[in-house]
């Protein structure tokens, strides 16, 4: 029997399925004869060479029963084999567009971009232009088209259209592979600032709950606390500022699933402020008096998006091996809404 994980679709609502991997999951038949893992996978994956499989095993992209194995491992009956290679090439040509980029760091191997809210990361359905990738292709004409990531040059992770903040872009294949490996092994350090409804209790904790596509609406990620569906997801959160009706929260990602923070905070009972997809665009805390509702509506207009910002990013440089960490200040719309809430709480 063969089972294969679904690759979440791209596009503007793609939040945080960070590693742009081709995901596979194979369950060996109960009568499976002992067979080397490279031969086992080569027989089950289209257009894959034995060398690619062996390299993937060496790089830690292949696991058996959630454990690393050696290339000479022999698959046993009922073994669960998971594979996470970079996605296969697409026949996708990206048009270069002269769109300014906020580059906070660049060397010959990579660059760090501070993405503004409203910019889609890569071309996809209904968003074929005006994306970060269109800008990258323009500004970096010699940016290599990286094997396994055609049509998305340099990308190893992505954030949602209406999420602002930091992204790392690889400029060569070795850097791409090295960063992808760190994302896969969850060694990338990423923190987000989120304005959420209510005040979490306790003020700090860990959400260890599976998330996956909603069975009712494929655009939405939902939590599966019983663990029978979805994918393993962990978010560590801590309260930064208690504003009575809303609060500023830091979220540290251990895994990077689609809409993970948005789904996890809703599961916790604290949807992101003005997150229409997850119910945060309603008054969820406070009175029903018209004056208060008007204040909240004004905040929504001031920040017409979910209040989520990719604030810090830390990783080991794949080439120099030096640990690097970057921080992005909160964008102006986020700052303005925070100040309005601080003023409201102080004088009401």
Which residues are identified as catalytic? 160
State the number of CA atoms in the 13 A half-sphere of 52 facing the CB.
16
∠ CA 258-259-263, nearest 5°, is 125
What is the spatial distance between Cα 22 and Cα 219, in angstroms, rounded to a whole number? Answer: 20
What is the spatial distance between Cα 22 and Cα 5, in angstroms, rounded to a whole number? Answer: 9
Q: Coil, strand or helix: which one is 280?
A: coil
- Nearest residue to 97 (alpha-carbon basis) of 142, 135, 153, 145: 135
- Provide CB contacts within 8 A for 167, sequence distance 6+: 112, 113, 115, 121, 132, 155, 157, 158, 159, 310, 313
Q: Are 274 and 305 in contact (CB under 8 A)?
A: yes
DSSP states of 1-68: -EE-PPPPP-STT-----S-EEEEEEE--TTPPPEEHHHHHHTTSTT--HHHHHHHHHTT-EEETTEE
Dihedral sign from CA coordinates of 160, 166, 172, 173: negative
∠ CA 168-170-176, nearest 5°, is 110
């Amino acid at each position: 029997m063969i089972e294969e994980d679904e690759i979440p679709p791209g596009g503007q609502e793609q939040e945080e399925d960070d590693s742009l991997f081709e995901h596979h999951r194979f369950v060996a038949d109960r009568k499976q004869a002992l067979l080397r893992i490279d031969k086992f996978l080569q027989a089950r994956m289209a257009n894959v060479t034995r060398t690619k499989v062996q390299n993937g095993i060496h790089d830690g992209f292949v696991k058996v029963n959630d454990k690393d194995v050696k290339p000479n491992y022999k698959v046993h009956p009922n073994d669960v084999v998971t594979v996470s290679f970079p996605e296969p090439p697409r026949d996708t040509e990206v048009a270069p567009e002269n769109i300014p980029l906020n580059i906070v760091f660049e060397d010959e191997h990579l660059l760090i971009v501070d993405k503004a809210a409203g910019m889609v990361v890569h071309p996809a359905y209904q968003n074929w232009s005006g994306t970060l990738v269109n800008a990258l292709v323009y500004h970096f004409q010699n940016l290599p088209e990286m094997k396994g990531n055609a049509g998305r040059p340099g990308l190893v992770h992505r954030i949602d259209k209406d999420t602002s903040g930091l992204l790392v872009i690889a400029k060569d294949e070795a850097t791409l592979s090295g960063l992808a490996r760190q994302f896969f092994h969850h060694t990338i350090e990423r923190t987000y600032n989120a304005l959420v409804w209510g005040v979490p209790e306790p003020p700090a904790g860990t959400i260890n709950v599976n998330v996956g596509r909603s069975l009712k609406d494929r655009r939405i990620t939902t939590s599966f606390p019983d663990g029978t569906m979805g994918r393993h997801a962990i978010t560590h959160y801590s309260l930064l500022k208690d504003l009575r009706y809303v609060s500023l929260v830091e979220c540290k990602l251990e895994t990077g699933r689609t809409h993970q923070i948005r789904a996890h905070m809703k599961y916790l009972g604290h949807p992101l402020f003005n997150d229409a997809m997850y119910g945060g665009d309603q008054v969820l805390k406070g009175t029903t008096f018209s004056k208060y509702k008007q204040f909240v509506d004004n905040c929504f207009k001031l920040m017409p998006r979910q209040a989520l910002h990719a604030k810090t990013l830390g990783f080991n440089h794949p080439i120099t091996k030096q640990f690097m960490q970057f921080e992005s200040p909160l964008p102006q719309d986020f700052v303005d809404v925070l100040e309005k809430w601080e003023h409201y709480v102080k004088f009401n």
